[in-house]
Amino acid sequence: MDVAQRLADALWQVYRRPERPEPWRQGGNLPWDEPDFAQRMLREHLDQSHGAASRVAAERALQIDWLWTKLGLAAGDRLLDVTCGPGLYAVELARRGNRVTGIDFAPASIAYARQLAAGAGVAERCAFTQEDVRRMAVEPAGFDGALLLYGQLAVFSRAEARALLASIARALKPGAALAVELLDQERVDKGESSWWFTDDSGLWGDRPFLHLGERLWYPQEALSLERFQIIDLESGARREIQLCDQTYAVDEMVALMGEAGFGEVTVYRRWDGLALYDADEWNVYVARMGPAEAS
């Protein structure tokens, strides 16, 4: 089959796509563990011209100060960074004396995090592991704090989120706290849209491609599904990626954290007033384990 026929085939497949796919049926997440995609995503994490993948350095500095205070961290504490990405938070907290365990699915991000820690002289205080956080094995009651930032809990189904929160709770010491950053359900765009563009370099590839995107809202599940059709214009190959983003009402998330084993949950709307460009869109939950039971 020549390229023209493959291109025609790809467009017909787009045309015949289901109008509203079933959420989570294709996993509902980006292909973080694919080496080429992970390397392209790392470029986006490190790009200081935008905050689409990781926040810019000035905003991270504000968050790190806030997290240090709200979680009650101190030098020597053990911190668990769940979906740590390229270690931009973990390494800065290691500079302050934390001993950090960072877990992420993307090989390029983990490799970069290790290099960043070595360059900062804190490699001995950082342990970075490439692993699916849904299957992470961490020491029970071994950590003084934990992070789950930039909405990453939302890329898991409700059942997976419930299990992940319980797993983190088991990893925390009595009195330790977890910070979870999630989009404010009340402010999430619940409209539907579609778009397209062409490029020859970016997150979706490093040769000419056509990107066809659409965003669907599922009111019963309170989630959005973004469906991306990526067509390689040189080969005619098509790939479909679906990204689900589960939203939560504040009361629902507080209840889920209670079910997971946290004894106290404090909700900070709009990032507690931090000067972040999109602070109004986010809520931060600080969920604290109860004290040790008297023997």
How do the domains of the chain map onto residue ranges?
Answer: 3-18+189-246, 47-185+249-288
Question: Which CATH number applies to 3-18+189-246: 3.10.50, 2.60.40, 3.40.50, 2.20.25?
Answer: 2.20.25
Which ranges of the chain does DSSP label H, i.e. alpha helix?
3-15, 35-46, 57-70, 90-95, 107-119, 158-171, 250-260
pLDDT in tens, 279-295: 999 999 999 999 976 54
Q: What is the mean pLDDT of the chain?
A: 97
Number of residues in the chain: 295
Query: What pLDDT, on the 0 to 100 scale, is given for residue 292?
Result: 78
Check whether 270 has a pLDDT greater than 90: yes
Is residue 218 packed enough to be buried (19+ CB in 10 Å), middle (13-18) or exposed (0-12)? middle
| pTM check: above 0.75 | yes
- Sheet-wide strand order for 223-232: 193-199, 209-218, 223-232, 238-246
pLDDT at 131: 96
Distance, CA of 251 to chain centre: 21
Which pLDDT score is estimated for 294?
Answer: 53
Task: Judge whether residue 1 has pLDDT over 60.
Answer: yes
Question: Which CATH fold topology does 47-185+249-288 show?
Answer: Rossmann fold (3.40.50)
What contacts 24+ positions apart, CB below 8 Å, involve 246-251?
A: 246/154, 246/155, 246/156, 246/157, 246/158, 246/161, 246/221, 246/222, 247/154, 247/182, 247/183, 247/185, 247/188, 247/222, 247/223, 248/154, 248/182, 248/185, 248/222, 249/185, 249/222, 250/185, 250/283
Residues above pLDDT 70, as percent of the chain: 99
pLDDT at 289: 98
Distance (Å, rounded) from C-alpha 187 to C-alpha 183?
8
- Examine domains 3-18+189-246 and 47-185+249-288 and report if their fold is the same: no
